[in-house]
Chain A
Amino acid sequence: MIDFLQLLIYGIVLGSILTLGAIGASLVYGILRFANFAHGDMMTVGAYLALVAVTTTGMSVYVALPFAMIGGAAIAIFFDQIVYKRLRRTVPIILLISSFSTALILRSVTQLIWGPKNQVYEAGISLPYVVGGVRIRPDHVTIFVGSVLLIIAFHLFLKYTMAGKAMRAMSDNVDLARISGVNSERVFLWTWAIGGALAAAAGVFLALDTRLHPEMGWHVLLAVFAAVIVGGIGRPYGAIAGGMIIGVATELSTMVFEPAYKPAVAFALMVIVLVLRPTGVIKGQP
């Protein structure tokens, strides 16, 4: 039972990280109509941007988080304006291939600037809290609380601002939104800004949970996509469910399967959902 609870906590932490990644990926998928293969590497870059803030000014990583998110949003918009914008008239698959090479560009630049080694924000070990035999690391509390706050902020944005409403409209039906006068280019910018910012936050939290490495984001990309698909493409609230399902299932799977095969769990769940319910658990785009 203790083992189960312990794994559940790891799962919720992983789920929080995946959720933040999946919300952005789901929005981009729903609004710009392509699977953004650079999303994982946007997480990586965000994590390293926070590292720059931490190492240059000595600020804590919590203070650095907003800077990383702004940086992440800027990078996402940059690639949109330089590359994706000019490819919008082509078929979405070309955008997908393009994002695949964006991923490679981000990863090699990360490695060039910050080197191929593992890094951490702060050296040293923080003692875990022990609650009824279950150990909880302070970082895990930060990740969970931080994710919940970001998700609430995102929810309020989506629900009450004009930009948020326009995004929901575009995600539901692009043509209908356009003839209703929604400025699609502006919605695209908002989508990238929010996707990039949340990806950067996810990257910072992932680095807190494990450590910084140029391939850290690429390794969770499949799990992020799995969360998007399980939650329903273009359904940001579904992405929360998807992220949590994938995160918890991945960690709990170690009770039954070899831990080495953890990454396969996300894949298996994704395939099951694709076959049984292609629109996702919460009905998304077909």
Chain B
Amino acid sequence: MMEDLLGSVTFGVFFLTTVGIYVVSVLGLNLQWGMTGQLNFGIAGFFALGAYTSAIMTTAPSDHHLGGFEMPIFVGFAAAMIVAGITAVLVGLITVRLRTDYLAIATIGIAEIVRLFLKNEDWLTNGVRGIPGIPRPFEASVGDNMFVFMAIVFFCVVLVYLALERARRAPWGRVLRAIRENEMGAEAAGKHITRFRLEAFVVGSMIMGLAGALFAHQIGFISPEAFTPRFATFIVWVMLIAGGSGNNRGAMLGALVIWLVWSGTGFVTSIVPPEYATQVSAVRLLMIGVLVQVILLYRPEGLLPEKPPNSRT
């Protein structure tokens, strides 16, 4: 009885932590797509960069990859955001002037190149063998406590949410939405469109880098296979579209709902013979794909649509 309870508590904490990490990713995407109208299909790339950066910064020294530098975890988080941000600046400087569908194609390329790089540069990342032993925050003082980690993830969620809500109401956020709605109008009003777009792209990508870092510390082991587009990119998109693009609360709700659906269908994997496990994952992906089409057709604004701006806020 106690063991059952403990089991469900463990599952619940793991579930909520995972949702929290996805929420961070989705909020980053919402800044890029929901608010500015930039298509980023390379979420997996920025997520992976964040995860690897934080892992290299915080693990114990190893002969198999660069570092580790045994830095405190928050240094790892900061480094993850910086590396993701610098990459986004480089990508953005080239692509931000382009039409947004070109950006979508280009970001897929970035994610693929990041994955190839992480896979092939053994000296840096230990290649396909991955990086094990990524520590949990405060492991020295409180031990490997899942509640502490969940609290840290939630702290990041709240921080990112408040910052983005503040930004959304600020003149900065209004310019982003103006660019999304009418680029020429915003330009005619004297706004430096390229700069605002680049800023939104970089900040959004940094948030995705943070999400990647959180993921690395949650799982404790990362390898390039963890960052295929279907899990790191597609599901984040589904969450945002289902929840409601442009609405930060919708983005968070979308993450929770879609992860509930995803985990709910996951139990099927545990009752079928292992040789069918890959087939079951295909069924789950199929369902998610169909779900997106249905949402796009029947409720394109999502569960919590973006509210029209209020003059007082």
A binds B: yes
Which of A's residues lie within 8 Å of B, judged by CB?
Answer: 34-35, 37, 83, 86-87, 90, 92-94, 96-98, 100-102, 104-105, 107-109, 111-112, 115-116, 221-222, 225, 229, 258, 260-261, 263-264, 266-267, 270-271, 274-275, 278
Q: Which B residues, 106 to 138, have Cβ-Cβ distances below 8 Å to chain A?
A: 106, 108-110, 112-113, 116, 119-120
- Shortest B297–chain A CB gap in Å is 6
Complex CA–CA separation, A266 to B113 (angstroms): 11
Which of chain A's residues have a CB closer than 8 A to the CB of B290? 101, 105
B89 within 8 A of A: no
What are 7 A-B pairs at a CB distance below 8 A? A86-B297, A93-B39, A100-B234, A104-B234, A105-B286, A264-B116, A267-B106
| A264 touching B293, Cβ below 8 Å | no
| Most chain A CB atoms below 10 A, which of B39, B104, B112, B289 | B289
Using a Cβ–Cβ cut-off of 8 Å, how many residues does chain B contribute to the interface with A?
A: 39
- Shortest B202–chain A CB gap in Å is 18
* Nearest CB in chain A to that of B230: its residue: A104
For B206-245 the 0/1 string (1 means CB < 8 A from A) is 0000000000000000000000001000100110010000
Among B52-60, B162-170, B171-179, B276-284, which stretch is in contact with chain A? B276-284
Complex CA–CA separation, A112 to B98 (angstroms): 38
Name the one of B109, B120, B293 contacting A260, with C-beta atoms under 8 angstroms. Answer: B120
Complex CA–CA separation, A143 to B310 (angstroms): 60
Which of B's residues lie within 8 Å of A, judged by CB?
Answer: 37, 39, 41, 94-95, 98, 100-102, 104-106, 108-110, 112-113, 116, 119-120, 230, 234, 237-238, 241, 278-279, 282-283, 285-286, 288-290, 292-293, 296-297, 300
Which of chain A's residues have a CB closer than 8 A to the CB of B285? 104, 107-108
| A222 touching B112, Cβ below 8 Å | yes
Which of chain A's residues have a CB closer than 8 A to the CB of B278? 111, 116
Which of chain A's residues have a CB closer than 8 A to the CB of B94? 271, 274-275
- Shortest A266–chain B CB gap in Å is 8
| A93 touching B279, Cβ below 8 Å | no
Known A100-B237, A104-B230, A222-B109: A34·B101 in contact at CB below 8 Å: yes
* Nearest CB in chain B to that of A116: its residue: B278
